[in-house]
Amino acid sequence: MKIYVDADACPVKEIIIQEATKRRIPVVLVQSFSHFSNAQQPDGVDTVYVDAGAEAADYKIMKLARKQDVIITQDYGLAALVLGKGCIVLHHKGFMYTAKNIDQLLTTRHANAKARKSGYKTKGPKALTNEDREKFRSVFLEVIETTT
């Protein structure tokens, strides 16, 4: 099992790295070159850089991910694709994408996009709270402890 992180805007990278490295689970941060950093990562954490294109990180994760890998993303489209590969997919707000909820999430995303296109203003996501971070940590630990 590996953990792949759609890392450009992931606000829980530190939690992922901290908990995964304790358990010696490899982590791959996939991010665009526009987020390049010389920062040294702990052993077991690799960074894969991709072009700055809109879906470049998603395509790279799709190519690398295997059944039972854990993917962390806020992108519903990527979540749907890697669920189809048999991956376990988590959102940084602490919920798991599943075959039961992905259709509704995609439908809502599509409806909001249509509304915005026609001039309607939709609300953006709420700011990440400490409660969200702890919920993510809890769900993440449950997943990696039951999968390894």
Q: What is the pLDDT of residue 117?
A: 80
Q: Give the pLDDT score at 94.
A: 95
Q: Which regions of the chain are under pLDDT 70?
A: 109-110, 112
The reported pLDDT for the residue numbered 116 is: 76
Cβ atoms of residues 92 and 110 within 8 Å: no
The percentage of residues in the chain with a pLDDT greater than 70, rounded to a whole number, is: 97
Q: How large is the greatest C-alpha to C-alpha distance in the chain, in angstroms? A: 49
The structure tokens listed for 56 are 């470049």
Rounded CA separation 9/32 (Å): 10
Residue 118 has a pLDDT of 82
Domain ranges of the chain: 3-147
Residue 54: per-residue pLDDT: 75
What pLDDT, on a 0 to 100 scale, did the predictor assign at position 110? 67
Instruction: Please give the model's pTM, rounded to 2 decimal places.
Output: 0.88
CATH of domain 3-147: 3.40.50
- In tens, the pLDDT along 13-41 reads 999 999 999 999 999 999 998 888 888 99
The pLDDT of residue 20 is: 98
Rounded to an integer, what is the distance from CA 73 to the centroid of its chain?
2
Closest among 139, 144, 147 to 94, alpha carbons compared: 139
